[in-house]
Amino acid sequence: MNDFSWNRRAFLVAGGAMGMAGIGTALTGPRAAGRDGGRDGGSGSEHYVTGAPQPDLPPMEVTLPGSVARLDGVDLWYWDTGGAGPAVVLLHPATGSGHVWGYQQAALAEAGYRVIGYSRRGHRGSSPVDPAAPGTGVEDLRMLVDHLGLRDFHLVGTAAGGFLAGGFALAQPERLKSLTIACSIVSVADPQVRALVPWLYEAWWNALAHDLRELSPSYRATNRAGHARWNELHDLSRGDNPEVNQPAGLVASLDTMSRITVPTQLIYGDADLISPPPIARKLQAAIPGSALTILTECGHSAYWERPAAFNQALLDFFKRQAS
């Protein structure tokens, strides 16, 4: 057996054991609750949402036709449900695009929100990243919300979208009603983060398939249609663009996140191999008054694997800010 095979097998076995241990703690520990229940997720709390993935929900893609915002040297593909309610802007993962938010689009709009999703540079429907002049995600987001006439809004970023969400909250806090960061390590350079997930910086990790890294074993086992649709949307996520990532702009870290003044919640999965709960707790300790929700049997794509619980966490949090 070569070193690659041994390291990968040892990691996956250890990761599975850690995930099951986390599930056991969530189901039997002092924060335990019934299915999709839990303690109040108020300021500074830690809230567990138990239960398994929902295989009865159909895999979804956004249904609204998109538009293209022609901004200063960049075209960004976006969709907008419209309406007079508070605005929610969704920031997709690196493995997705503005098309992945089907589970959130209808649910949030039906709750009375104006919901907006878009593809960042280099992703499906938007301009490619020019390595000589890549711009920044923070500035592109500012231009887009200005283009849409948004004075303030709720910002939700998952995975790589969490990098941008954290950076925007530091750069433009006056524009935000609230901040939600889901399943994100926020910074690849922060030494405290690197120490918690050293495998992310190993060559063998990057050789694994995206779905193995990002979807939990429970989801892959129980929702074959959703698993296949996630892979399909991932394969389409770059369109004709080369796989070049745009810099977020203002780089967030555990130290800089302590300066966030916006009401903040964190949503993480206990079976997430990329951003496991210890990273979420580091972020919660860093961001004053932030609330943490942990979804059990959930991997790195919480918005997709546990959409009902994910959406409810968003709606409950938005309502608390309004009151």
**How many Å is the maximal CA-CA distance in the chain?**
61
CATH number for the domain harbouring residue 63: 3.40.50.1820
Q: How many CA atoms lie within 13 A of 78 on its CB side?
A: 27
Query: For position 47, what pLDDT does the model report?
Result: 87
Query: For position 241, what pLDDT does the model report?
Result: 81
Query: For position 44, what pLDDT does the model report?
Result: 67
CA 283 to chain centre: 14
Q: From CA 291, how far away is CA 319, in angstroms rounded?
A: 14
> Helix crossing, 307-322 with 102-110: angle to 10°?
40
Query: For position 37, what pLDDT does the model report?
Result: 36
User: Is the Cβ–Cβ distance between 31 and 39 less than 8 Å?
Assistant: yes
Q: From CA 69, how far away is CA 60, in angstroms rounded?
A: 24
Q: Which residues of the chain carry a pLDDT beneath 50?
A: 1-43
Distances (CA, A) of 237 to 92, 170, 229: 10, 27, 12
Query: For position 4, what pLDDT does the model report?
Result: 40
The structure's pTM equals: 0.86
Query: Into how many domains does the chain fold?
Result: 1
Q: Which domain holds residue 146?
A: 3-322
Q: From CA 149, how far away is CA 131, in angstroms rounded?
A: 29
Query: For position 189, what pLDDT does the model report?
Result: 80
The one-letter amino acid at 17: A
SS3 label, residue 115: strand
Q: From CA 112, how far away is CA 85, in angstroms rounded?
A: 6
